[in-house]
Amino acid sequence: MPSTAISAQGSKLEIAGAAGGAKTITAIALGFPTILTSTAHGFVNGDVVTLAGLTGTNAGDLNGQTVVVKNVTTNTFAFDINTTGRTITAAGTATPATWTKIENLVSFKGFDGQASELDKTDLDSTAKEYALGLQDWGSFTFDVNRDMNDAGQQAIDASKRAGTVKTYKLTLPNNKTKTFDAYAKNSPLEGGVDQLLKSTGVTLRITGDVTDA
């Protein structure tokens, strides 16, 4: 059987910035996932949008929510909020975050956290017993060739300085994405004789869940 391995070449990492132009929602299909109709919206899997203006008894379940886009078609997109049995109607808007590419990406690794272990052992146990606690996605670490004028690298430095959480999107060469929120813990700089300036081991501490799309 031929290998199905995927080259990492062409992967890109982006950081979310200011909001872009709102797209009009014309219909909603309730369920899980929830599917919205927005003609020629231009979104791609992994984009982040903020919902507003929806109506109905349970519209508050969605209005103000920031969601990750998945299952994109030309005129529809979905997200992982369960609206089964709710009363929510269109119209409304979906306002996307703008993405800034972090240039000169050399390598990356991450999503290396583990769920905690909860010890369930008691005096009736014949061996140690455990349950898994909350999922922990750990960190995402990457290396870049340093460019002090790159907007993406500058955004990471700014978020580290401010201690603010930012949204990131990793897009792989097969167009699969991982979208996540994280804090920038460091922004190292290294150089030497006959070497490029580099930031090796930039670490993003993931908070919350990771959305695959």
In terms of domains, do 118 and 208 share one?
Answer: yes
Q: What's the pTM?
A: 0.87
CA 210 to chain centre: 6
Q: Would residue 1 count as lying in a domain? A: no
Q: What is the mean pLDDT of the chain?
A: 96
Which of 58, 74, 98 represents a domain boundary (last residue)? 98
- Whether residues 61 and 116 share a domain: the answer is no
Give the domain-ending residue among 65, 98, 131. Answer: 98
The verdict on 59 and 160 lying in the same domain is no
CA 137 to chain centre: 12
Residue pLDDT, tens place only, 85-118: 999 999 899 999 999 999 999 999 999 999 999 9
3-state secondary structure of 180: strand
How many structural domains comprise the chain? 2
Written as one string, the DSSP assignment of 54-93 is -BSTTGGGTTT-EEE-BS--SSEEEES---TT---B--EE
**DSSP characters over 84-125:** TT---B--EEEEEEEEEE--SEEEEEE------EEE---TT-
Residue 129 lies in a domain: yes
Are 91 and 63 in contact by the 8 Å Cβ rule? The answer is: no
Q: Does some domain include residue 9?
A: no
Residues 25 and 52 in one domain: yes
Do residues 109 and 87 share a domain?
no
Total length of the chain = 213
Residue 18 has a pLDDT of 84
Instruction: Give yes or no: residues 124 and 193 share one domain.
Output: yes
Q: Are residues 196 and 111 in the same domain?
A: yes
Is the same domain home to 130 and 186?
yes
pLDDT band of residue 158 (cuts 50, 70, 90) is: very high
Q: Are 12 and 104 in contact (CB under 8 A)?
A: no
Instruction: Name the residue range of residue 148's domain.
Output: 102-212
